Structure 1
Amino acid sequence: YPNSFDSGMPGDYYTKTDAQEAIENARQIIEFCEGCVR
C-alpha cells in the first residue's frame, strides 16, 4: 500500500530479500487457491 509510511519510499523500508520473500509467499497463495477451485 503506497501510503503505509509517513515519509520515504518503500525502498527505504524493504530490502530485496523482503521483496523476494513476498513474491514467493504470493506464489504459494496462488497455488493453494488454484488447488481449491480445481
Structure 2
Amino acid sequence: MASHSVAHLLAFILPVLFLFLLPFSQLSHAQLLFQ
C-alpha cells in the first residue's frame, strides 16, 4: 500500500520537476551562448 502511494507520488512529482527544470536548463544554455 505504501509503495503504491509512493509510485503515484513519483508519477505526479516527476513531470512537475521536468517542467520546473526545463526552463532552467534552457536559461543555462542561453548563458553559455552569451558568454
With the shorter chain as reference, the TM-score category is 0.5 to 0.7
**Which of 6, 9, 13 pairs up with 1:12?**
6
| More helix as a share of residues | 2
Q: How does 1:1-38 map to 2 (within 5 A)?
A: 12=6, 14-38=9-33
Question: RMSD between aligned alpha carbons?
Answer: 2.5
State TM-score, norm by structure 2. Answer: 0.53
Gaps spanning 5+ residues in structure 2: where? Answer: none
Say how many residue pairs are matched: 30
Bigger Cα Rg: 2
Q: CA deviation at 1:27?
A: 0.8
Percent of residue pairs identical: 0
